[in-house]
Amino acid sequence: MYDYRNSAFMFLLGAIVALFVTVQSLVFLRTAWSEGKRQGLDAKKMRRAVISSAVFTLVPSLSILLTMLTLSGALGLALPWIRLSVIGAVTYELPAAEAAAQAAGASLAGAGVPLDVFSLIAWVMTLGIMSGPIFIIAYFKKLQGRVNKIKVEDNRWGTLLISAMFVGLISSFLGSALAGGLVSILTLLSSALIMVICIQLEQKAGIKLFKDFALPLSMVGAMALAILYAGLLGG
């Protein structure tokens, strides 16, 4: 039986989207690199940013891959691949697909959705995520102008404002993790502790690698411990 979800046509669409994202990323990388060189930014710093970002990205990317595999049961591989490659998010794709399936009286739990539901899901997942990019095209330049104005008028407050936003973002996830049960709390604390150890090793032993890879090391270590905690606590 013809599997439209995993057809060559769908994978061709996926390949086009992946190519688009790759080219765009390379253009931005090149533009930023040239500007960095022009500003006299040390090439070593920029190379470290590339390497540390590449290593850090591996683990969260596995979680994105897992979402793709989860959705592949009902939607095939190509559509989740497309949706998670461009203007997509782990937290968005599954609820969007579920809402669309429910609206058609179907479910994602089965082996595969019918073609009409598949088409509906593709439309809902796409149209539902467009507000952020449209807002950026319309207002981001103006918004950035306002932030720059604050920094020009009072640089210290401008810097504090951005730090406060960082801390606000992190605090919301800390609160969520602290209220998420014992395994979640222990994982959070373990991650923080491994980070402390990495910083100490970098500062006391002078091993730069511990600074560059402190975040991925903390993440992977804490995730491994989460398996242990869940086994011990039955969570």
Partner 1 sequence: MTKINNNSLSYDVAIHRIGRIWMSVALIVILAVPLAISIHFKVWPAAGPLLGGLLPIMMIYVPIGIIEVITFSPMLGSGATYLAFTTGNLTNLKVPCALNALEIADIEPGSSQGEIISTIAVATSSLVTNLVLIIGVLLFVQLTPLLASPLLKPAFENILPALFGALGYLYISKNWKLAVVPVTLMIIIFILVPTAPVGILIPVSALSAIAAARLMYKKNLI
211-230 binders of partner 1 (CB under 8 A): 211-212, 214-215, 218-220, 222-224, 226-227, 229-230
Chosen residue from 43, 107, 110, 167 binding partner 1 by CB under 8 A: 167
Count of residues engaged in binding partner 1, rule: CB under 8 A? 151
Chosen residue from 50, 107, 200, 207 binding partner 1 by CB under 8 A: 50
Closest distance to partner 1 from the beta carbon of 91 (Å)? 7
> Which residue, among 194, 184, 192, 188, has the nearest Cα to 221 in the 3D structure?
194
Closest distance to partner 1 from the beta carbon of 115 (Å)? 5
User: Distances from the Cα of 53 to the Cαs of 15, 65, 71, 169, 172, in angstroms?
Assistant: 24, 18, 27, 20, 23
Report the C-alpha gap between 29 and 35 in whole angstroms.
10
Residue 200 interacting with partner 1 (CB under 8 A) = no
Residue 13 interacting with partner 1 (CB under 8 A) = yes
113-132 binders of partner 1 (CB under 8 A): 115-116, 118-124, 126-132
78-97 binders of partner 1 (CB under 8 A): 78, 81-82, 84-92, 95-96
143-162 binders of partner 1 (CB under 8 A): 143-144, 147, 151, 156-162
Closest distance to partner 1 from the beta carbon of 201 (Å)? 14
> Which residue, among 196, 198, 197, 221, has the nearest Cα to 211 in the 3D structure?
198
Residue 182 interacting with partner 1 (CB under 8 A) = no
Chosen residue from 1, 43, 49, 207 binding partner 1 by CB under 8 A: 49
Burial bucket for residue 83 (CB in 10 Å: 0-12, 13-18, 19+):
buried
Residue 59 interacting with partner 1 (CB under 8 A) = yes
Residue 201 interacting with partner 1 (CB under 8 A) = no
Q: What is the DSSP string of 47-103?
A: HHHHHHHHHHHHHHHHHHHHHHHHHHHHHTTHHHHHHHHSS--HHHHHHHHHHHHHH
Report the C-alpha gap between 98 and 20 in whole angstroms.
27
Chosen residue from 137, 153, 205, 206 binding partner 1 by CB under 8 A: 137
Residue 209 interacting with partner 1 (CB under 8 A) = no
Chosen residue from 1, 3, 45, 205 binding partner 1 by CB under 8 A: 45
For 174, half-sphere exposure in the C-beta direction (CA atoms, 13 angstrom radius) is 9
Chosen residue from 134, 200, 201, 205 binding partner 1 by CB under 8 A: 134
Between helices 214-233 and 43-75, what is the axis angle to 10°? Answer: 40
Residue 39 interacting with partner 1 (CB under 8 A) = yes
**Which position has the token pair 């997942």?**
125
